């Protein structure tokens, strides 16, 4: 994701998250910190029928963001356009961000998901994320926030200095 994407992504975020969507400034701030952030967009191959992002000739299907300050990685957001759900796009983006978090030294990867979003919870559970804490009434719609944690396996490629 780059600065030119922000208007489009802010509108998409509003569509997907409503009252809990991020203000534009949040995306601006996040993109301004590449040393601890990675934000990505999933694009469809050209030729797929869908409205193109104005002027850029790209077809956006979803977006996701990571904050990583080792040893903690945080999946900050993830969203897929309703018409492109169920094709593995969220999984592709999670694969990317989890790999990046590990590459940056994360030993715990955290995320927060609404108690009223079983679909997203299932997706995370399949990756091995475990529900470790509940923040009561965390979301503005009154739903609880479930904090989930993934502890990726320690890399076996690093050499034992002894």
Ligand X SMILES: CC(C)(COP(=O)(O)OP(=O)(O)OC[C@H]1O[C@@H](n2cnc3c(N)ncnc32)[C@H](O)[C@@H]1OP(=O)(O)O)[C@@H](O)C(=O)NCCC(=O)NCCS
- Contact between 146 and 112 (Cβ < 8 Å): yes
Active-site residue (options: 39, 63, 124, 139): 124
Of 148, 142, 141, 80, residue with least CA distance to 113: 148
Which of 91/137 has CB closer to ligand X? 91
The residues binding ligand X (CB under 6 A) are 16, 78-80, 85-91, 113, 117, 119-120, 122-123
Catalytic, 138? Answer no
Q: Give me the least distance between CB of 88 and ligand X, in Å please.
A: 3
Q: How far is the CB of 79 from ligand X (least distance, A)?
A: 4
Alpha-carbon span 2 to 129, nearest angstrom: 28
Relative to beta strand 108-114, strand 59-69 is unpaired
112 among known catalytic residues? yes
Q: Which residues are designated catalytic? A: 112, 124
């Amino acid at each position: 994701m780059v600065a030119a994407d922000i208007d489009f992504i802010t509108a998409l975020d509003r569509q997907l998250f409503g009252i809990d969507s991020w203000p534009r400034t949040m995306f601006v701030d996040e993109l301004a910190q590449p040393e601890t952030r990675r934000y990505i967009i999933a694009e469809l191959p050209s030729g797929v029928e869908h409205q193109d992002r104005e002027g850029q000739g790209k077809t956006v299907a979803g977006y996701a963001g990571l904050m990583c300050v080792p040893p903690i990685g945080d999946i900050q957001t993830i969203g897929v356009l309703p018409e492109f759900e169920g094709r593995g796009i969220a999984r592709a983006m999670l694969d990317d961000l989890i790999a990046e978090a590990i590459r940056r030294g994360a030993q715990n990867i955290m995320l927060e998901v609404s108690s009223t979003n079983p679909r997203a919870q299932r997706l995370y559970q399949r990756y091995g994320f475990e529900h470790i804490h509940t923040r009561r009434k965390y979301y503005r719609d009154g739903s609880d926030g479930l904090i989930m944690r993934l502890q990726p396996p320690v890399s076996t490629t690093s050499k034992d200095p002894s």
